[in-house]
Amino acid sequence: MDDLERRLAALLSKPFPDDPPPGLADRIQRAVATRRRNRRALALAVAAGATAVLVGAPLAVRGGNGDAATTANLSPTPASTAPSTQPSSTAPSEPPATVSRWPEPAVTTTVTATPDQADVRLPAGVRLEQALRQIMNVTSVVDVEGRTAQGEPFVPAALGSDGTVLGTTPDGQVAEVDAGGGTPKDLGLRARSGLGTAADFRTWTESNGPAADQRCRTADGTTRTISPQGTDPRGPVWVDGGVVVGNDVMRQPWMAKGCAQVGTVVRSGEPASGVAVAFSYPDLFTAERANDKVLRIVDVETGRVTAEHPLPDGVRAQTMGDPDQKWYAAASGKWFAWVAGDTLRWTPRDTWGAVSVLSGVPTPKKGVSPWMTAGNRLITYNTGATSFVLDPVTGHRYKSPDVVLAAGDWLLWKSGDGYRLASLR
């Protein structure tokens, strides 16, 4: 192409009948040079744009009217290293300058999940551990065996804020292992749901035909029923601050302070305050979707409603004849997070303002009800198959096979034939 252009310029520079206007050859050569520069600039711009698409995902901050307010690219991350120690722009680490208060719409931040940047040749459990070390201080990591002392397969079901792990065998035997890791030891009881642990007691749901009760055992072996009028055998049970919280079969929340006595139904006037969806001592989160259509926060020590918010984004009001929507939530002292459909959202509790959104959560395993847990820093979502860990500060999400649990400063995840238990700061 360049040779053809030179020959054309030379031909046009020679006189011949009906000569073109003077200087035409120079103008053609200048135009050719300009086109070359433009082609090179365009090629560089395309290459740079492609690189930005590969290493950075757009972060769109939307106002309450749904219009895009700003758009930015996340900082590039090297493909062969763990995520950067610098906070990502995918989620706010500080409360926003202005707080959206009910009934004003909250700000929504759309976050694109960051792919696992660790060496893909390493086991999944090791990749997760490497990623965690990039964003926080991992003070200890121990192994938890995947089989009990009797050789039965062990599946963790609950993690206490002191690092104690409770789980079950295929026939429903309950075993535990403390924060030091090792081989789970049989507790001498059976349960299929409702496991929870605190420093001075263990609790579980005990089914008796169609009915179920929440049972509680102290360190000296004293065992009693703590649910005031039964408990939902298919629903979650939360333990935090020495308090046990659940729902009964009438979908009323109940709470009990350890094993000392039978608990009480939690009410905030009539009708009852709603269904318990999350608990972070002393705050019980209840959703009332049929009448008042609000999310309430109840102080379990006083029984008072301390705050009310609209139903979380993606959670529908319950109307007569419509099937019940399945959604899941977890809370810590800093965050409230929930999954509705295939979308995870979270918001800082101190402002209840900006809502971060992460789409494409894993699909639950058939026959498994997903559940969420929350620690001081991390939030998990379990599906019975692929689950994940969310760091709400940076917006990073890390996949893990099978179960992954968070409580206090602890995180438990699947690694090989067993599990890893880490203390995080």
Q: Report CA Rg, the chain.
A: 29
Residues 6+ apart with CB under 8 A from 70: 60, 61
CA 69 vs. chain centroid, Å, equals 25
Distance CA 96, CA 92 (A): 8
The token duo for 159 is 């993690």
Q: Decide if pLDDT at 346 tops 80.
A: yes
Distance CA 160, CA 244 (A): 12
Tokens of 22: 């003077």
* Contact of 75 with 84, CB cutoff 8 Å: yes
| Distance of alpha carbon 357 from the chain centroid | 10
Number of residues written out for the chain:
425
Q: Are 222 and 259 in contact (CB under 8 A)?
A: yes
Q: Is 384 exposed, middle or buried (0-12, 13-18, 19+ CB in 10 A)?
A: middle
Q: Which of 97-106, 260-269, 353-362 has the lowest mean pLDDT?
A: 97-106
Element (H, E) at 45: helix 24-55
- Which residue stretches of 93-228 are H helix? 124-135
Asked if residues 157 and 144 have their Cβ atoms less than 8 Å apart, the reply is no
CA distance 415 to 401: 8
Among residues 42, 28, 75, which one has the least CA distance to residue 56? 75
pTM of the model: 0.73
Contact 348, 335 (CB under 8 A): yes
Using an 8 Å Cβ cutoff, are 61 and 89 in contact? Answer: no
Residue 373 sits at the vertex; the CA angle it makes with 257 and 145, to the nearest 5 degrees, is 100
**Residue 211: what pLDDT?**
84
Task: Report residue 189's pLDDT band, with 50, 70 and 90 as the boundaries.
Answer: very high
192 vs 43 pLDDT, higher one:
192
Which helix (H) or strand (E) covers residue 348, if one does? strand 343-348
* Distances 82 to 34, 265, 326 between C-alpha atoms, Å: 44, 47, 34
Q: Is it the case that residue 378 has pLDDT exceeding 80?
A: yes
Res 66 pLDDT > 90: no
Q: What is the pLDDT of residues 96-138, one digit of tens each?
A: 333 333 444 445 555 544 444 433 345 777 788 888 898 899 9
Indicate whether 68 pLDDT > 80. no
Helix or strand run (H / E) with residue 30: helix 24-55
Q: Is the pLDDT of residue 325 over 70?
A: yes
Name the residue with higher pLDDT: 269 or 349. 349
Contact 418, 146 (CB under 8 A): yes
Residues 411 and 391: their CA atoms lie apart, in Å, by 12
Distance CA 264, CA 300 (A): 10
Q: Which position has the token pair 């992460």?
A: 358
* 181: pLDDT strictly greater than 90: yes
Say what the pLDDT of residue 45 is.
46
pLDDT at 270: 55
Where residue 220 falls (left for φ over 0; alpha for ψ -120 to 50; beta otherwise) is alpha
And the tokens for 303?
């029984």
Find out whether 279 and 241 touch, Cβ atoms under 8 Å: no
Q: Is 155 exposed, middle or buried (0-12, 13-18, 19+ CB in 10 A)?
A: middle
Joined tokens for residue 181: 């890791």
Q: Which two tokens stand for residue 132?
A: 């965690």
CB contact at 8 A, 23 and 9: no
pLDDT digits (tens, 9 = 90+) for 267-305: 865 555 799 999 999 999 999 999 899 999 999 999 899
**Per-residue confidence (pLDDT) for residue 208, from 0 to 100:** 83
SS3 279: strand
- The C-alpha atoms of residue 35 and residue 250 are separated, in whole angstroms, by 76
